[in-house]
A and B are shown apart, each in its own frame.
Chain A
Amino acid sequence: MIFLPCVFCLSVVPVWGDGEGPAFGYSTAILGPGNASVETAFMWRSGVAMFGPQVSYGLMPNLQISVSAPFHLDHGDHPTGRFTAMMPGDPQVEVLLGWRFFHKSPAIGTRNEATLYAGLSGLTQDVPRADGPPLRRQPGMYVAIAAGHVSRRYDVWAGAGYQRYGTWSQGIDDRQSSSLLTSFVVGWRPSFFDHDYPKPDVRFFWETTGDLIGQAQRDVPPPGSSGGHDHGTAPPPPPPNSSGIVVLPNSGGAGIFSGPTFLITYHSVAFQGGVLFALWNQPNGLQPPERVRAVAGVTYYFLGRHK
């Protein structure tokens, strides 16, 4: 837990959004070798507020590593899932590798590129729930792919990612919802803001995301077993299924969100933010449906450090 305050302190002055691309959706890795960035993002969704510091570093051409550690400022009543591409939607530390395996630059100011992401994460906070004790989750893994076309006037990005939590220690820990997140983003730089370097660079995006969040699971130790953890005086869980797993009914769901976001970069700082509105939202249980999601972040870049 010492890690979190350290990262927080590191991040309050220089902070980052997802950098060159969308605020919620997928974009490709951008850091060159030796370049680094530090971000802090504030993420809000109905009933849940999170603060997400992230540090990224360009390991070599086309390979970047990011470490993020979002944590709850205000937790919700029910398990949620990932809702931004580059950072977990739950309090955990995630190490994410981004490999830009394809890139072409066919013209002035134009690039086509694609990045594969793979990451591992571990729990940092036990999140209280309305209908039971905190879920003590197992480590998770995350894979995603993003592709985009960028130019001086228009950008298009698309991507999808899947986060899954481990099952190998069933009977000892609970299991958070797995999640599938997809995004499609169009962006444009109005001619009014189409200035040459070094002037502030302003871009607007319209982002649409779709997420499918699975139901969380709680382990139930067999009678007489010492496995599992103490669930305290919480209400009795639903009966376990044939595998001894209790599937929590008020967790997960599906939704499609869409809305405007922006990115402003100047010198080594990027400001990013936006709001998504629910086009369709179908929780699995009794959770209140989400109406709005918001992100605001700042990034500071350390560029040209490679000698």
Chain B
Amino acid sequence: MTFSWTSWLRGMALAGLLLAVAPVHAEYLRIQLRVYGLDCELCARGVSAYIQRMAGVKSVDVSLKKGLLEIVLTPGNTFKISDLRKRIRENGFRPMEATVTAIGEFNGSRFDVLGSDESYELGRHDTKTKAPMELTFDVH
């Protein structure tokens, strides 16, 4: 077998192409969620510990004064905001609006967060971008 620069370049190009189209996991990157009802240190600790144990959660910060949870997620997570809201309700609190940073793609005017089965109507359509993109948006 002889080494061929042409074959090597062809192989590298194919590998690059495969990596470029590799499936993207659910990619919520950061979530800021307003939560009503958090009034005490113990409430904050309970909710924080509860969410910290959800798969894909890297860190949770709580502000009692702002009633705000800031959740940072690990790359390649399968996190769902619907699960997050459910867990907060289970603890006796009320999840409200959120500011979300996620990787996804537009499907018409909807933004699909890749791999999560969750999408959001953002009321705009970025026709120039077909590839997955990182976007920060508000969820009500």
Q: Write the residues of chain A forming the contact surface with B, with a CB cutoff of 8 angstroms.
A: 19-20, 30, 32-33, 35, 61-62, 100, 103-111, 113, 150-152, 194, 196-201, 203, 265-268, 270, 301, 303-304, 306-307
Contact = CB atoms under 8 A, between A and B. Distances in A.
Contacts of B34: 108
A35 B91 CA distance: 10
Interface of B: 34, 36-46, 48-50, 52-53, 62-67, 89-94
Given A103-B92, A109-B38, A152 B65 contact: yes
A203 B45 CA distance: 17
Contact of A113 (B40, B46, B89, B92): B92
Nearest to B52: A304
Contacts of B67: 108-109
Given A20-B40, A32-B50, A110-B36, A197 B90 contact: no
A199 B50 CA distance: 19
B43 to A, nearest CB: 8
Contacts of B42: 19-20, 30, 201, 265, 270, 301
A34 to B, nearest CB: 8
A62 B46 contact: no
Given A20-B43, A303-B46, 14 more contacts: A20-B40, A32-B46, A32-B90, A100-B92, A105-B36, A108-B38, A109-B37, A109-B64, A109-B67, A197-B41, A266-B41, A268-B45, A270-B42, A306-B50
A80 B131 CA distance: 75
Contacts of A62: 92
Contact of A32 (B39, B62, B64, B92): B92
Contacts of B44: 197-198
A199 B44 CA distance: 11
B136 to A, nearest CB: 22
B58 to A, nearest CB: 15
Contact of B36 (A19, A106, A307): A106
Contacts of A200: 41
B39 A33 contact: no
5 contacts: A20-B40, A107-B36, A109-B65, A111-B39, A152-B64
Contacts of A32: 46, 50, 90-92
Nearest to B63: A196
B89 A304 contact: no
Contact of B37 (A111, A266, A304): A111
A105 B50 contact: no
